[in-house]
Chain A
């Protein structure tokens, strides 16, 4: 079984995100270690982009800090390699916008993903209609392309779910708008999950807005996993280089509630 699917075998999966290179690449390596030690089943590393249109202010800020620190796509590959050397079994996924991938060159990008031990990729500005951009090259390099489903997807859910990469998972966007912590999630996720389940057996994880253990518990009852980004990035913003322990405690508190 591949590492992504295995991430969903340890109860409900906790998927933690951070922007690579915020506040610097050495800290990212340490923070990822803390996340994994605290029970994070799948780590999502953001490759910083100058204009992340699907992100709220917290992750936008992290992208800018990472770029200001000089972080490049190559740095993210070497970060992933180091994490992979220490943690053989934890699934690693990169999240970025299509332009950094396109400009790097699809072939070179996915070959480097493979060499660095990366298992999958999430591209928020590449909808179903455009996944032909990378699908074949990603598959050739055993990189799963993670498809996203949004509250507005409606009749598109079936097509997206049926066509999703079986080696990956489905990313269910919990709310309208951009990433960021929300006090309340109003979308009818139960019906979306029902439509997903009727179309595929691929695991589905819910993300966008989730930040409290109570929310994580609630979402974990609906889906196979929970994705948390802004809340972790917020800790990196707040504590800077010293955020490691806070991240560890936070991830632990979230995973504990997800049964």
Chain B
């Protein structure tokens, strides 16, 4: 079996054309990971440009309102570009530059990863092309314009379901056509090895900070850590340094759309089965013949039919739990957090907030929960208004 395994999951299921490039990428990463200068540059970028460390904010009003565990919000929404995606992108594009690449390509769902990639590419002087499902370019038109402002070329993907999965297909196809000068900056803990490892490592800054911060504030570890899961990058980053802490529950919130028992959801752990797709073995929403299912979520960022291989493994061994959260619950949580704490979070992150609202009341006041606010919600305001039947002119 190949490298990059998490139990039976992971691997490198890609066309031969990409194999040498993946091997080169892994070698470069293993080298620069240990390189002092690389780490110094990355730390400077994270601190001076992205605004790290991100705050661990005690949501006092929400805590009182729910009447149980203390709730802390890990504020990735306050990073430059408004989400956790910048953590990974700064690392990968700096790595690409060290490898002598001059061009980066990326997929994007909601546009968060696309905007982050375009931002870092502008900063580091790289050519940048973003692949985004046609349906998502319509849902997130402002983010398309943002990427263009940042100098990126955005390709609307017209194939398949015209969402995130198709954007990944198209970015992979583009990469097989041009590997010499190009790095595919994958946005989540998915795809072929070494991507799940690289993205997890760059995102693990979230839990490294959060663990220190909670110990300072509470003097003990939290009872639970909660994050939303599409491909799973913010969740993996939020879980990672807590994995050895057995007393800490790790909870990933999947997009259940209209409900896990309807045909309109993207809840991979709830409904998926083992498969091999997008370069990895993991769980996927698919039919009995292995055709990848069209999935649905109100959140373009969670609208993905698979889940990263390390999450699949954490699920298999029972270290992490994955729970479904519907559109309606997420929208209610989106509104709740805005009203209660004055924070408009991304609809993706609202899935995690929704689950916290369910579990916090039955927990003790001396317990705490960390929930990752993976992004800010400006991009979602119009969609939420539409969902509520409010007619606003953008």
Binding-face segment, B169-177, B320-328, B341-349, B361-369 = B169-177
With an 8 Å Cβ cutoff, the count of chain A residues facing the other chain is: 42
Interface residues in A48-95 by Cβ distance below 8 A to B read 49-51, 53-54, 56-57, 60, 64, 67, 72-73
What CA separation (Å) do A226 and B166 show in the bound complex? 30
Q: Which of B255-288 contact A (CB under 8 A)?
A: 273-279, 284, 286, 288
| B276 x A152 contact (CB < 8 A) | no
Question: Quick one: which of B16, B160, B169 has the most chain A CB within 10 A?
Answer: B16
Residues B173 and A127 in contact, CB atoms below 8 Å apart: no
B16, B159, B160, B166: the one within 8 Å of A149 (CB): B16
Of A60, A133, A151, which one neighbours B159 at CB under 8 angstroms?
Answer: A60
Q: Which of B159-183 contact A (CB under 8 A)?
A: 159-160, 165-166, 169, 172-173, 176-179
Assess the A50–B12 pair: CB atoms within 8 A. no
B34 part of interface (Cβ distance < 8 Å): no
With A53-B172, A60-B159 given, is the CB distance from A126 to B288 under 8 Å? no
Provide the B308-343 mask, 1 if CB < 8 A to any CB of A, else 0: 000000000000000000000000000000000000
Once the chains bind, are B291 and A54 in contact (CB under 8 Å)? no
B159 proximity list for chain A (CB < 8 A): 57, 60
Judged by a CB distance under 8 angstroms, whether A166 is at the interface is no
A154 to B19, CA, bound (A): 11
Of the listed residues A49, A72, A177, the one surrounded by the most CB atoms of chain B closer than 10 A to its CB is A177
Q: Write out the residue numbers on chain B whose beta carbons fall within 8 Å of the beta carbon of A128.
A: 16, 19
Asked if A51 and B13 sit within 8 Å, CB to CB, the answer is no
Q: Is A104 an interface residue (CB 8 A)?
A: yes
Closest A-chain residue to B173, C-beta based?
A: A178
Contact with B along A156-184 (1 / 0, CB 8 A): 10001000000000000100111000000
Q: Does A148 contact B16, Cβ atoms closer than 8 Å?
A: yes
Bound-complex Cα distance A103 to B19 (A): 24
Indicate if B17 sits at the interface (CB-CB under 8 A).
yes
* B residues less than 8 Å from A111 (CB atoms): none
Q: Using Cβ atoms and an 8 Å threshold, which residues of chain B touch A150?
A: 15-17, 19
Q: A129-B12, A129-B19, A152-B20 are in contact. Are A72 and B289 (CB under 8 A)?
A: yes
Q: List the B residue with the shortest CB-CB distance to A100.
A: B290
Quick check: B15 and A54 within 8 Å, CB to CB? yes
Complex Cα distance A57/B174, Å? 12
Neighbouring A residues of B165 by C-beta, 8 Å? 51
The residues in B between 167 and 219 inclusive whose CB is less than 8 angstroms from any CB of A are 169, 172-173, 176-179
Taking a contact as CB atoms under 8 Å apart, the answer to whether B13 and A103 are in contact is no
Judge whether A99 and B17 touch: CB under 8 Å: no
Interface residues on B, range: 35 or more
What is the bound-complex CA distance between A141 and B107, given in angstroms?
40
Q: How far is the CB of A79 from chain B (nearest CB, A)?
A: 15
Cross-chain contact of A125 among B14, B273, B290 (Cβ < 8 A) = B14
Distance from A187 Cβ to chain B, minimum over Cβ atoms (Å) = 11
Q: Which residues of A contact B291 (CB under 8 A)?
A: 49-50, 67, 100
Contact of B178 among A51, A129, A130, A176 (CB under 8 A): A176
Task: Please name all residues of chain A whose beta carbon is closer than 8 Å to the beta carbon of B173 when the two chains form the complex.
Answer: 53-54, 56, 177-178
7 cross-chain CB contacts under 8 A: A60-B159, A103-B286, A125-B13, A149-B16, A150-B19, A152-B19, A153-B20
Residues of B within 8 A of A (CB): 1-3, 11-21, 159-160, 165-166, 169, 172-173, 176-179, 273-279, 284, 286, 288-292
Residues of A within 8 A of B (CB): 49-51, 53-54, 56-57, 60, 64, 67, 72-73, 97-104, 124-130, 132-133, 148-154, 156, 160, 173, 176-178
The 4 lowest CB-CB distance pairs between A and B, nearest first, are A103-B290, A177-B177, A129-B2, A100-B290
Extra inter-chain contacts (14) besides given A103-B275, A128-B16, A176-B177, CB under 8 Å: A51-B165, A51-B169, A53-B15, A97-B276, A98-B13, A104-B289, A125-B279, A127-B19, A129-B19, A133-B276, A160-B16, A177-B17, A177-B177, A178-B177
